[in-house]
A = this chain, B = another copy of it.
Amino acid sequence: MEYKDQQLTEEKVFKDPVHRYIHVRDRVIWDLIAAPEFQRLRRVKQLGTTNLTFHGAEHSRFNHSLGVYEIVRRIMMNFQDRVNWDNEDRLLCLCAALLHDLGHGPFSHSFEKVFKLDHEKFTQRIILEDTTVNQILNKVSPNFAQKVADVIAKTYSDKLVVSLISSQIDADRMDYLQRDAYFTGVSYGHFDMERILRVMRPMDDQVVIKSTGMHAVEDYIMSRYQMYWQVYFHPVTRSAEVILSKIFQRAKYLYENDSYTFKLKPTHFISFFSGTVDLQDYLKIDEMIVYYYFQLWQEENDEILADLCERFINRRLFKYVEYNPDPQINAGMELYQLFKEAGINPDYYLVVDSSSDLPYDFYRPGEEEERLPIHLLMPDGGLKELSRHSDIVESISGKKRTDHKLYFPKDRIQEIKDESLKQRIVDILYR
């Protein structure tokens, strides 16, 4: 029997707190899960530093990837009488779901920002270059790896396949909302996924939702909104992210500064500092490795690097105040000067962080990060864009909400000896 048609002699299951069980029958899927590049996702947390705010959130991207696979598997079962896909098409959906986050590095957001990397590119490379995952995909058919990569890159010709893992209501989002809610323990993030799966219909190049299921979709959109503001953009988590970025930034700075010598040579980081990362370097770095360096760097001679690492490891985070980005109003420049006067390097200890979210939006061509809008399938067979039919969604549609905060180490300010200087800083911060 061809490799792509091989079934396990007995279905295997993974116990999963969110979907109860994750079912695997295809040999290809089983082999991919066992591949080292996929196992590596066990060492990358799904929510980066969120566990410093919500202590339950220690789940890995390995978890989430299995979950997305499982949701797509269930959608495929519902679709089997409605689409004309052969077994390779089916496998394509499952593999793309399983592997869509394969390129995530440690603490993705901060890491990528400082080192100018893009995890999506690494997902492509892991799938297409010399890896165990690539070997497995090649056994399915000669251009299968490329197809999987295309689906994940959203460039695949059959947009219906793409929309399963990349639309405003895709398996990716449905999994992470529920999973992150479960592990953090918050009461948001619940919606009736079983009903949504039942009202999904494949239609030409997209997945549409029968209009009888509109309320379940509204509930999903609201869950998403709440999770963003209550969990993903939680100000304490962002404080940890700020410190993380500053550690990477400082270490890079020191590396580039010839006069500084690290006590511990940052072997794993060198190609990142120098912008010469190859695939093997990338695969070798995970959150365990990063934590190792941070722990050791607490004893570096550079006070800023040592201090920031100690803060991160011992969770002595920065405090924050609301910040108005309008330069007329805010006193950013003034604070910058005052911090300098106080001997607190503002490049590392005075940080503006902004978060913004667009809870739901219909398609606006040319915009970055566009996701396909949600279309309802009306009783008369026509399609209607969700926000035209739902008051709730209409009311939040296209409203980008942005939140700016100013982060700083309150303890350092309290230690300022010059009382008048200290008072001026405090007055500006808390006025």
Chain A residues in the interface with B (C-beta under 8 A): 13-18, 20-21, 34, 36, 39, 42-43, 51, 54-56, 58-60, 62-63, 66, 182-188, 190-192, 194-195, 198, 215-216, 218-219, 222, 225-226, 229-230, 284, 286-289, 291-292, 295, 313-316, 391-392, 395-396, 399, 401
A47 to chain B, nearest CB (A): 11
Across the interface, A15 reaches (CB within 8 A) one of B186, B226, B314, B316, namely B186
Residues of B within 8 A of A18 (CB): 185
Q: Is the CB of A60 within 8 A of B55?
A: yes
Q: Contacts of A16 on B, CB cut-off 8 Å?
A: 55-56, 185
B226 touches A34 (CB 8 A): no
Find A198's partner among B13, B66, B396 (CB 8 Å cutoff): B13
| CB-based contact A184/B17 at 8 Å | yes
CA distance A96 to B208 in the complex (A): 38
What is the chain B residue whose CB lies nearest that of A179? B56
Nearest CB of B to A389, in Å: 13
The reply to whether A288 and B284 form a contact with Cβ atoms under 8 Å apart is no
Contact B315 A39 (CB under 8 A): yes
* B187 near A14: Cβ-Cβ < 8 Å: no
CB distance from A329 to the nearest CB of B (A): 18
| Cα distance A230–B15 in the bound complex, in angstroms | 12
Q: Closest residue of chain B to A394, judged by CB?
A: B395
Instruction: Kindly state the separation between the CA atoms of A391 and B60 in the bound complex, as whole angstroms.
Output: 33
Q: A192-B187, A215-B229, A292-B288 given as contacts; is B58 within 8 A of A314 (CB)?
A: no
Q: State how many angstroms separate the Cβ of A20 from the closest Cβ of chain B.
A: 6
Whether B391 and A401, one on each chain, are in contact in the complex, defined by CB atoms closer than 8 angstroms, is: yes
Contact B218 A226 (CB under 8 A): yes
Q: Indicate whether A190 sits within 8 Å of B192 (C-beta atoms), given known contacts A62-B55, A222-B222, A289-B295.
A: no
**A218 contact set on B, CB distance < 8 A:** 226
| A-B contact list, 18 entries, CB within 8 Å | A14-B55, A16-B56, A17-B56, A17-B183, A21-B194, A21-B195, A21-B198, A34-B315, A187-B192, A187-B216, A188-B192, A188-B215, A215-B229, A287-B288, A288-B295, A292-B292, A391-B401, A392-B395
Choose one: B13, B60, B222; the contact of A58 (CB below 8 Å). Answer: B60
Contacting pair B185 A15 (CB below 8 A)? yes
For the complex formed, measure the closest distance between the CB of A413 and the CB atoms of chain B, giving whole angstroms: 18
Contact B55 A219 (CB under 8 A): no
Which residues of B sit under 8 angstroms from A192, Cβ to Cβ?
186-188
Q: Which residues of B contact A186 (CB under 8 A)?
A: 15, 192
Evaluate contact between A184 and B15: CB separation under 8 angstroms.
yes
Q: A59-B58, A183-B17, A392-B225 are in contact. Are A215 and B198 (CB under 8 A)?
A: no
Tell me the complex Cα distance, A295–B229, Å.
Answer: 37
Residues of B with C-beta under 8 A to A288:
287-288, 291-292, 295
Since A16-B56, A17-B184 are in contact, a sample of 13 more A-B pairs with Cβ atoms closer than 8 Å, ordered by chain A residue number, is A15-B186, A17-B185, A34-B316, A39-B313, A39-B314, A42-B55, A56-B59, A187-B191, A187-B192, A222-B222, A286-B295, A288-B292, A292-B292
A314 x B36 contact (CB < 8 A): yes
Across the two chains, which residue of chain B brings its CB closest to A52?
A: B42
Complex: A191 Cα to B36 Cα, angstroms: 35
Q: Which of B63, B184, B194, B291 contacts A56 (CB 8 A)?
A: B63
